[in-house]
Amino acid sequence: MNKKTIWITGGSTGIGKALAIKFANEGWNVAISARRENLLDEIADNHENISPFPLDVTDKSKCKEVFEKIKNKFENIDICFFSTGTWNPKKERDIDVEQIEEVFKINFFGTLNAIKAVEEYFKKKKSGTITIVSSIAGYRGLPNSTGYGPSKSALNNLAESLYFDFKRSNVRVCLVSPGFIKTPMTDKNDFKMPFLKTTEYAAEKIYDGLVNKKTFEIHFPKSLTLVLKIFSFLPSKIYFALVTKMTKYQKKN
């Protein structure tokens, strides 16, 4: 029986790396992409089923070129997992237009470039899964998040829009909304992160959601995400008061 194949962007560190290892250990072929080729090579050298495909997702033509290489190597692609992202909390406190443009260029348009590269393939194949990694920060506006939160909110809307478009071709679009996961990116945070989990925890949840379940959104840990989902339905006045109170508490502690 032929092995199934997954392509993961943002695969050199964090959730992407942990998920690559999880799928490889489950017997899948894994293609990993990121800008830092040395990190990709290191992961591939230590895991038989993982192959590196260096890529800067902000380069549209390179996204198409790399996907062609992956297709040529594996022929059949079952899942695409697009998890490229950036976050700089120090530059999110003010309206830094250049920084916000850069965040959107990577988080939103980088993801969009990757999706565009695989669109025709999946629509012709009429099966498979395209996965967009967002964040709980995309549910509603948060303090000190002038670029990251809005970029993730845009991804949420994009995933819902694409759900309808790809469903006509029998292709699943899946949204992943992690809570606080310990990664090099969240290590930059200067506040206490509730329900902080490991990348291995995230990989287990995502693998189960992609392989064993058919829901649109995979979100975790539920103890945090379900509360935030309730927050998303609250009237603005109540929501603003609650978040203000919580952030004041965080500063004191």
For the chain, the first-to-last Cα distance in angstroms comes to 55
- Cα separation, 131 vs 158, whole angstroms: 11
**Angle at alpha carbon of residue 94, lines to 93 and 97, rounded to 5°:** 125
Residue 239 appears among annotated catalytic residues: no
User: What distances in angstroms separate CA 139 from CA 80, 93, 103, 162, 231, one per listed residue?
Assistant: 23, 19, 17, 18, 9
Can you list the alpha helix ranges (DSSP code H) found in the chain?
Answer: 14-25, 37-46, 60-74, 97-107, 109-125, 148-167, 199-211, 222-231, 236-252
Task: Give CA–CA dist 40/17, Å, rounded.
Answer: 9
d(CA 37, CA 54): 6
CA distance 93 to 59: 28
Q: How far apart are CA 126 and CA 36, in angstroms?
A: 33
Check 121, 139, 148, 163 and give the catalytic one: 148
Coil/strand/helix, residue 101: helix
Identify the burial level of 234 via C-beta atoms within 10 angstroms of its C-beta, where 0-12 means exposed, 13-18 middle and 19 or more buried. middle
Q: Which residues belong to the active site? A: 148
